[in-house]
Amino acid sequence: MGTGEILLKVDKIEVTYHRVITAVQGVSLEVARGQIVALLGNNGAGKTTTLRAISGFIGMDDARVSEGSITYRDRRTDRLQPHEITRMGVVLVPERAKVFENLTVAENILASVSGRKDKEQAALAYEYFPQLVHLRRREAGYLSGGERQMLAIAAALVCAPQLLLVDELSLGLAPRIVSELVERLQRIREELGLTIVLVEQNATVALEVADHGYVMENGRIVLDGTAERLRAHDDIREFYLGHAQGERRNYRDVKQYRRSRRWYG
Ligand code: ATP
């Protein structure tokens, strides 16, 4: 899916925390309008940092894009404030602290809206997540993990996104809930014409729904391709899709190991 128009272009970015710690280096990626793009990799690979760089929120973590550029619809965004980027239609569903725990579901949704289109946008959020209608008066702190994730996505929808950045959709959730969330994201993409970047440790989930994927390790992209190609890629199957049980190695080790088997084995 996708029209071919490049909506987001990340060009060789380096991200530095506290002016000294380089977490991401030389990362480039492109997202076409209407696509779902997955950013895969293990803990600490640099996925969240990349996503927060795109959303502008890294400034809150005392980090900055120290090299390269991020362009959204032909406009440089890597020096903009998060609220300016959100206003352009790039909306983040963060990994942690997704919802205001002491506010009700309805208050969380209203907290995201501004302007005259409030009611329409809120109605849209409830339309895609009807479970939240019955939970409107419940404090978000009492919601289950799945309900919180739904609320976080619903609250993001209220901001009228064109590009939705979702950090760890599946983390800690039961497979049934994850399938439901994935199905909902697909509907949102199809019906609202959204473009989605999905950060996931769970490659199985991500490659099921994505059009294209990038694999990150140690702050760099080590592989990218269509989801179909990645699903069929031996290294990915072996490392991320559970075809190599037992000791988990990093992606590079798997790749080197496979190479050596190819040459000597
Ligand atoms: P996870 O799934 O655990 O969030 P990730 O792939 O998203 O992993 P990042 O969270 O982006 O990885 O982390 C990339 C690197 O940046 C790691 O080495 C991490 O220690 C470092 N890092 C992340 N946040 C900070 C911070 N606030 N200050 C300093 N270093 C950080």
* Out of 11-25, 196-210, 245-259, least confident range: 245-259
- Asked if 127 and 121 count as a contact pair (C-beta separation under 8 A), the reply is no
Give mean pLDDT, residues 28-45.
Answer: 94
d(CA 156, CA 154): 5
Helices (H), 165-219: 175-192, 203-209
Query: pLDDT per residue over 69-124, tens digit each?
Result: 999 999 999 999 999 999 999 999 988 667 899 999 999 988 876 655 667 778 88
Q: Would you call 16 helix, strand, or coil by DSSP?
A: strand
Residue 148 is which amino acid?
A: R
- Asked if 205 and 227 count as a contact pair (C-beta separation under 8 A), the reply is no
Q: Is 237 among the domain residues? A: no
**pLDDT value of position 119:** 73
Residue 4 is which amino acid?
A: G
Q: Is 242 among the domain residues? A: no
Check residues 222 and 253 and name the one with the higher pLDDT.
222
d(CA 123, CA 239): 42
- Asked if 126 and 133 count as a contact pair (C-beta separation under 8 A), the reply is yes
Model confidence at 45, pLDDT cuts 50, 70, 90, reads: very high
**With a 6 A CB cut-off, is 49 part of the ligand 1 pocket?**
yes
The CATH number for 141's domain is 3.40.50.300
> What letter would DSSP give residue 136?
T
Residue among 195, 194, 152 at smallest CA distance from 173: 152
Q: Is 132 among the domain residues? A: yes
Structure tokens at 131: 């479970």
* Mutate-to-test residue for ligand 1 from 21, 170, 202, highest number of ligand atoms within 8 A of CB: 21
Q: Quote the ligand 1 centre to 193 CA distance (angstroms).
A: 31
**With a 6 A CB cut-off, is 44 part of the ligand 1 pocket?**
yes
**pLDDT value of position 42:** 87
- Tell if the pTM clears 0.95, that is, is over it: no
Q: Is 251 among the domain residues? A: no
Residue among 157, 46, 144 at smallest CA distance from 93: 157
Model confidence at 201, pLDDT cuts 50, 70, 90, reads: confident
**pLDDT value of position 149:** 93
**With a 6 A CB cut-off, is 46 part of the ligand 1 pocket?**
yes
Which residue has the CA at smallest separation from atom 3 of ligand 1? 43
Q: Is 173 among the domain residues? A: yes
* Out of 7-16, 149-158, 203-212, 245-254, least confident range: 245-254
**pLDDT value of position 116:** 54
Q: Is 240 among the domain residues? A: no
Which residue has the CA at smallest separation from atom 9 of ligand 1? 46
> Domain range spanning residue 28?
6-232
Mean pLDDT taken over the chain: 87
How many domains does the chain fold into?
1
Q: Is 24 among the domain residues? A: yes
Q: Is 109 among the domain residues? A: yes
Which residue has the CA at smallest separation from atom 27 of ligand 1? 61
Which residue has the CA at smallest separation from atom 16 of ligand 1? 23
Model confidence at 202, pLDDT cuts 50, 70, 90, reads: confident
